[in-house]
Chain A
Amino acid sequence: DAGITQSPRHKVTETGTPVTLRCHQTENHRYMYWYRQDPGHGLRLIHYSYGVKDTDKGEVSDGYSVSRSKTEDFLLTLESATSSQTSVYFCAISDLRGQGDEKLFFGSGTQLSVL
């Protein structure tokens, strides 16, 4: 999957606990994204980053925060997990944005279950 590693691959946690998902890329792409995938909703953007320490919200950002301290790493944190955050989370990268030819490369996903 294009030099993208997500960890962990599976996570089960309890409501109210903090959870951090990690995305690591070896492609040196500028843009990194976190999506969630739910039945009937396709892929929805949570947050994205356009450089080290530069991040912005997506369409479903409530309850999530992100950090990017290095080009290769993008962290997604659920400060206090809720059952509605049970989902499959995908990290994606691209080297273009806003130029009309943006190909996204996805990681293998993290299955998160909040009980």
Chain B
Amino acid sequence: DAKTTQPPSMDCAEGRAANLPCNHSTISGNEYVYWYRQIHSQGPQYIIHGLKNNETNEMASLIITEDRKSSTLILPHATLRDTAVYYCIVRPYSGAGSYQLTFGKGTKLSVIP
């Protein structure tokens, strides 16, 4: 799987947009970008994924650059409950089936009142 690079930590003011970057310069054509987060010591939580188009769901938006070498997760209006470690993960998708996720160290996002 392609390696990802994320800043170790970021701060964001409550109510503002949080923009979390991820570099994945060795990503292959069949690899998707996934974002998960882990609040305190809870289980990781799926946020969003994408291949090459920008994606939006009720939790976040994902912007993937045209060359697919980097992406940004956007939390449009961060709340204190968004304080968590955010993981950017790249994995190949080859149809339905089980697969393993390779977690890095992620970015610790602190939302500040």
A and B co-occur in one complex: no
The chain B residues found within 8 Å of chain A, CB to CB, are none
The chain A residues found within 8 Å of chain B, CB to CB, are none
